[in-house]
Chain A
Amino acid sequence: MVEGKGGRVGPDLTAVGISRTVESLVESVRNPSQRLAWGLTEPTKEFAQRYETVTVVTPDGKEIKGVTLNEDSFSLQVMDTAEQIHLFDKDKLRSIKKSRKSLMPAFDPGTLSDQDLNDIIAYLLDLAEK
């Protein structure tokens, strides 16, 4: 999402140009499963790791795939790829599987040239400066 336009499953990129280095932005596009940032001390995790992919199977056998909005020992909140929010009690689900592979596809130079990627990053940097 940029300036209110685009999908909700991924992060808001409007100001990402001032919060991430160019190298980090390139890495996030080429290898989106790489975690974006590490801190010296752990986050409190009052909010779960964003953009972790989760697949759940509901009591009626329906499979839902999305990102984890939040989670604790007893409940799970998920946004699916259609941007629907699902609220689950863990003990009622048939299964919960998590993956550190991002829902965002990896854009290698074959699908997104270096020049196009540079243009996107230049756009994000320019946007952030506004």
Chain B
Amino acid sequence: MKKTLHKVWIGIFLLLSSVFFAVNATGNACAQVTFKRLLHSSEEPQNWLTYSGDYAGRRFSALDEVKTANVRSLVVKWVFQTGATGKLETTPLVVDGVLYATGQDDRALALDARTGRPLWLYQRQLPADIRPCCGRVNRGLAILGDKVFLGLLDAHVIALDAKTGNVVWDVAAVEYAKGYSFTLAPLVLKNLVILGVSGGEYGIRGFIDAYDADTGQRKWRFYTVPGPGEPGHETWEGNSWKTGGAPAWMTGVYDPATNQLFWPTGNPAPSNRGEGRAGDNLYSNSLLALDPDSGKLNWYFQFTKHDEHDWDATQVPIMIDSGGKHLIAQANRNGFFYVLDRSTGKLLSSNAYGKITWSNSKDNEGRPVPTKESSPTPTGRTVCPGALGTTNWMSPSFDAQTGLFYVSAREQCDIFSTAPQPYEAGHAYYGSAYFPSDEAEPYWGAVRAIDPENGLVKWEFRHPSPTWSGVLSTAGGLVFTGDAEGNFIALDAATGKPLWHFQMGGAVYASPMAFAVDGREYIAIAAGSSLYAFGLP
């Protein structure tokens, strides 16, 4: 009898303790991040739960403590130095006072978001022969439950314990030695970790993967270059599909209303030589609408067919609801601002938002058509925009209050030349070279505010050189951005007038975000090798 009572007490204790820990887990600083919280991220503007701040990709913060009237008082609250060299491209996440970010060479870290003091640090031991095309960079992570997720330069996907940084699971997605890598922040939805591969400069065959968040088991893969027998395969000449590129190296967006995942894709390979891959080269430079449960394609829209200028369409698209219409908009690297019906993929408008010389007509769908004169030649042709595009991977922002789409634009033309190049696995595969055009004006940059209703640029704030900084808009009537000269800048969202700036001492290769702790708003941005957080005194 005594033994039985003892067992009962133990049972009661375990039951009570499990209830206690369950309650505590939803009320303390390390609360579980559920899919429901991700769906309703707008209800907790103090947190920044996904790469773009919400599933719509808006990079908009509803926080308004910092506003046009007081932004001149903004000061540095803390700085965290990664201690590494190279570009720091991260957008942090913030969950209940804890900031999670990535760093160069596949670092990951958790900080006290109030002070910048580290809670844990993770450093991937990367193989010596990884093949990142454009720096040993990582743009961020995703969070679900008590795990954070990263894609790595060695083409692995990992889950870390959000409280310790310990590895929970680690899976190899593909063989990195052939030029595959991950550089983007994954997107989490339901119980899936979704990410696309980098490596378009190496003649890879691009794909988008979904992994089980609990186990790391791959649930589906969508190849962005269709194989034999698949629709779209006929858009590739011969065996060119095997090395067709079409990477998917930026984070997509998700529409819970229609359960559609929208993911942008990059250039066909070789990037600047169309000879040998005749056809449209689907699904390069496209926006894909996928069923996130199965990875099946619902529709696609290809922005640049048979690209020969390295104009990846990987820019983060933004879902906009306006006048009963459900739209998705993208400021594309090729210089056009596109608005699509996101239910069908139908093109609604395309308007140039920078200097373009490659098209002077549109097809029946309204898609810009390239001129014959824009195609690269052995001796070279000047084309605008240049290979780095009118914009690139830096995130845009949409503010429903102003109704404006903000984007960092570049003005640069290049001379594109082309030459035969045999494919060799794991080696650069450009088929070309491009050089800044001596005939063009010195290149420069700008933040531009585009009205999606008509595609017109409402205002512009000019940089002396092109920036690699993204844009954040806030309910305080502000647009934040950085520049190549190291400034962090606040603009009036309605007019583009500069209201405040701070010299951070290093060029910006990242997109800003905002969060709040203890009711105080912070704006964060990476510059040089440091992460900065600003707030009011």
Known: A49-B442, A100-B442. A73 touches B507 (CB 8 A): no
Residues 21-72 of A contacting B (Cβ, < 8 Å): 34-35, 38, 40, 42, 44-46, 48-49, 52, 71-72
Known: A44-B507, A45-B465, A46-B507. A73 touches B436 (CB 8 A): no
Please pick, from A38, A46, A100, the residue contacting B486 in the complex, using a CB distance under 8 A: A46
Nearest CB of chain B from residue A89's CB, rounded to whole Å: 12
Residues 444-468 of B contacting A (Cβ, < 8 Å): 461-466
The answer to whether A72 touches B443, judged by C-beta atoms less than 8 angstroms apart, is no
Contact of B76 with A by CB under 8 A: no
Chain B positions within 8 Å of A38 at CB level: 435-436, 438
Alpha-carbon gap, A73 to B499, bound state (A) = 12
* A contact face: mostly helix, strand, loop, or mixed: loop
Residues 386-427 of B contacting A (Cβ, < 8 Å): 388, 412
The answer to whether B483 touches A42, judged by C-beta atoms less than 8 angstroms apart, is no
Alpha-carbon gap, A46 to B480, bound state (A) = 19
Alpha-carbon gap, A100 to B440, bound state (A) = 12
B361-395 interface code vs A (CB 8 A; 1 in, 0 out) = 00000000000000000000000000010000000
The answer to whether A35 touches B443, judged by C-beta atoms less than 8 angstroms apart, is no
Alpha-carbon gap, A44 to B527, bound state (A) = 13
Please pick, from B442, B461, B483, the residue contacting A72 in the complex, using a CB distance under 8 A: B483
Contact of B487 with A by CB under 8 A: yes
The answer to whether B485 touches A72, judged by C-beta atoms less than 8 angstroms apart, is yes
Alpha-carbon gap, A24 to B215, bound state (A) = 59
Nearest CB of chain A from residue B501's CB, rounded to whole Å: 6
Nearest CB of chain B from residue A98's CB, rounded to whole Å: 8
The answer to whether A40 touches B435, judged by C-beta atoms less than 8 angstroms apart, is yes
Contact of B31 with A by CB under 8 A: no
Residue of A nearest to B465 (CB): A45
Contact of B536 with A by CB under 8 A: no
Alpha-carbon gap, A72 to B467, bound state (A) = 11
Known: A35-B438, A72-B464. A42 touches B489 (CB 8 A): no
Nearest CB of chain A from residue B354's CB, rounded to whole Å: 16
The answer to whether A48 touches B435, judged by C-beta atoms less than 8 angstroms apart, is no
The answer to whether A73 touches B484, judged by C-beta atoms less than 8 angstroms apart, is no
Please pick, from A44, A71, A100, the residue contacting B464 in the complex, using a CB distance under 8 A: A71
Chain A positions within 8 Å of B62 at CB level: none
Alpha-carbon gap, A118 to B388, bound state (A) = 39
Nearest CB of chain B from residue A35's CB, rounded to whole Å: 7
B475-515 interface code vs A (CB 8 A; 1 in, 0 out) = 00000000111110100000000100101001100000000
The answer to whether B443 touches A42, judged by C-beta atoms less than 8 angstroms apart, is yes
Known: A40-B433, A45-B485, A46-B485. A73 touches B442 (CB 8 A): no
Alpha-carbon gap, A52 to B462, bound state (A) = 19
The answer to whether B388 touches A48, judged by C-beta atoms less than 8 angstroms apart, is no
Nearest CB of chain B from residue A46's CB, rounded to whole Å: 5
Alpha-carbon gap, A40 to B483, bound state (A) = 21
Alpha-carbon gap, A42 to B461, bound state (A) = 21
The answer to whether B435 touches A44, judged by C-beta atoms less than 8 angstroms apart, is no
Chain B positions within 8 Å of A98 at CB level: 442
Alpha-carbon gap, A60 to B401, bound state (A) = 42
Chain A positions within 8 Å of B412 at CB level: 42
Known: A40-B435, A74-B501. A46 touches B484 (CB 8 A): yes
Residue of A nearest to B468 (CB): A44
A84-99 interface code vs B (CB 8 A; 1 in, 0 out) = 0000000000000010
The answer to whether A73 touches B435, judged by C-beta atoms less than 8 angstroms apart, is no
Residue of B nearest to A70 (CB): B485
Chain A positions within 8 Å of B434 at CB level: 40
Alpha-carbon gap, A34 to B137, bound state (A) = 34
Please pick, from B433, B438, B501, B506, the residue contacting A73 in the complex, using a CB distance under 8 A: B501
Binding site for A on B (CB under 8 A): 388, 412, 433-436, 438, 442-443, 461-466, 483-487, 489, 498, 501, 503, 506-507
Extra 18 A-B pairs, beta carbons < 8 Å, given A46-B485, A46-B506, A72-B487: A35-B438, A38-B436, A40-B433, A40-B435, A42-B412, A45-B464, A45-B484, A46-B486, A49-B442, A72-B464, A72-B485, A73-B461, A73-B464, A73-B485, A73-B489, A73-B498, A73-B501, A74-B501
Kindly list the 7 A-B residue pairs having the minimum CB-CB distance in the complex, ordered from nearest. Answer: A72-B485, A45-B465, A45-B484, A44-B507, A38-B435, A46-B507, A71-B464
Binding site for B on A (CB under 8 A): 34-35, 38, 40, 42, 44-46, 48-49, 52, 71-74, 98, 100
16 contacts between A and B (CB under 8 A): A34-B438, A35-B438, A38-B435, A40-B433, A40-B435, A42-B466, A44-B484, A45-B484, A45-B485, A46-B506, A46-B507, A48-B465, A49-B442, A52-B442, A72-B485, A73-B498
